[in-house]
């Protein structure tokens, strides 16, 4: 499991996965991929939920309590992660362009994504949003727990693929220029690897209880992203059941993976 111990390797894999997913819609029709995108988003939400509730938050709690951190502060770290994502969303740094694509397509009968007044600000905002994923992976690496690192890494990748695909769809629709769309995808794909490297190296020597709080903060961000990604579909009577199935499958897959790693001992602390 040398890959999981190398921030540079994880950063490279994260960049490659996001960039490849983002450039796919630049050469293929969105309509051909829409059902797949919906499923990937729902599955990713389940994976994020399972990763947060089964690994990130319990591990973060165990690490934080070693430094005699008050329970209120431990819970506060999770809440801070959730509220930080809510703040980014409120400031316009959201990540819901794929949901808006669904809504407009049903209303107008054709592929229609988000219509911002400034496309550059939306892409930059999405990239800023992606920085939090790098924080989660970097903090996990710094704990030295391979189980935690693997689960967080898989959760981030599961979310990153449909998000990058959506960036490609959005940018190609708004820009009408493949070269500029590739640039947007590149910027988005680079955001998470940058914070993986910065967080892993900056947190490498900090006290364990601070690492625990960082992991709990990341768990809060996972909870927010997972719920926001599927709530629009859950609240829709036509897609509610399918969204539920997608989340349950994603959560079950992640739970089985964690259980398998734990029982077989393939990945240990």
Q: What is the pLDDT of residues 77-120, one digit of tens each?
A: 999 999 998 888 887 766 555 444 444 444 433 343 444 445 67
- When comparing pLDDT for 145 and 34, which is higher? 145
Given a contact cutoff of 8 angstroms between Cβ atoms, the answer to whether 9 and 150 are in contact is: no
Contact predicate 160/18, CB 8 Å: yes
Residue 95 pLDDT? 58
Reading the block at residue 63, the tokens are 């690490």
Task: State the average pLDDT over residues 61-67.
Answer: 83
Q: How far is CA 244 from CA 137, 236, 267, in A?
A: 27, 11, 30
Per residue in 155-211, pLDDT (tens digit) is 999 888 888 888 888 888 777 788 888 999 999 999 999 999 998 888 777 777 788
Output the pLDDT for position 38. Answer: 81
Average pLDDT, the chain: 81
**pLDDT reported for residue 107:** 42
Q: Which residues contact 101 (CB under 8 A, 6 or more apart)?
A: 30, 34, 111, 112, 113, 114, 166, 169, 170
Candidate ranges 98-102, 127-131, 251-255; pick with highest mean pLDDT? 251-255
What would the mean pLDDT of 252-260 be, rounded to a whole number?
89
pLDDT band at 2 (very low <50, low <70, confident <90, very high): low
Q: Which residue has the tokens 């625990």?
A: 212
The 10 Å CB-count burial string (b at 16+, else e) for 251-261 is: bebbbebbeeb
pLDDT the model gives residue 114: 40
CB 5 within 8 A of CB 150: no
CB-CB contact of 193 with 11 (8 Å): yes
The reported pLDDT for the residue numbered 185 is 92
pLDDT in the model for residue 207: 77
Residues 6+ apart with CB under 8 A from 94: 88, 125, 126, 129
- At residue 113, the pLDDT reads 40
What percentage of the chain has pLDDT greater than the value 70?
82
**195-226, pLDDT tens digit by residue?**
999 988 887 777 777 888 989 999 999 999 88
Poorest-confidence range of 27-31, 85-89, 227-231, 233-237?
Answer: 27-31
Q: Encode pLDDT of 3-51 as tens digits.
A: 667 889 999 999 999 999 889 888 776 645 667 778 888 888 899 999 9
| Cβ-contact 245, 41 below 8 angstroms | no
């Amino acid at each position: 499991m040398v890959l999981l111990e190398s921030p540079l390797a994880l950063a490279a894999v994260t960049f490659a996965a996001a960039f490849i997913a983002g450039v796919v819609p630049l050469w293929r029709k969105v309509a051909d991929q829409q059902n797949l995108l919906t499923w990937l988003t729902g599955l990713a939400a389940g994976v994020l939920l399972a990763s947060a509730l089964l690994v990130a938050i319990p591990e973060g709690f165990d690490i934080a309590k070693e430094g005699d951190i008050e329970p209120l502060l431990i819970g506060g770290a999770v809440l801070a992660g959730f509220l930080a994502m809510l703040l980014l969303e409120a400031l316009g740094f959201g990540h819901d362009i794929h949901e808006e694509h669904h809504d407009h397509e049903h209303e107008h009968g054709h592929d229609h994504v988000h219509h911002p007044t400034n496309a550059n600000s939306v892409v930059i905002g999405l990239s800023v949003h992606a920085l939090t994923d790098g924080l989660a992976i970097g903090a996990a690496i710094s704990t030295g727990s391979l189980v935690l690192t693997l689960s967080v890494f898989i959760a981030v990748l599961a979310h990153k693929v449909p998000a990058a695909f959506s960036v490609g769809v959005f940018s190609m629709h708004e820009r009408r220029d493949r070269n500029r769309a590739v640039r947007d995808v590149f910027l988005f794909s680079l955001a998470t690897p940058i914070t993986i490297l910065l967080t892993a190296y900056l947190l490498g020597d900090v006290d364990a209880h601070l690492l625990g709080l960082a992991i709990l903060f990341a768990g809060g961000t996972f909870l927010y992203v997972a719920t926001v990604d599927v709530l629009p579909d859950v609240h829709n009577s036509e897609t509610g059941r399918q969204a539920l199935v997608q989340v349950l499958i994603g959560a079950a897959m992640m739970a089985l993976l964690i259980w398998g790693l734990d029982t077989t001992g393939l990945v240990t602390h």
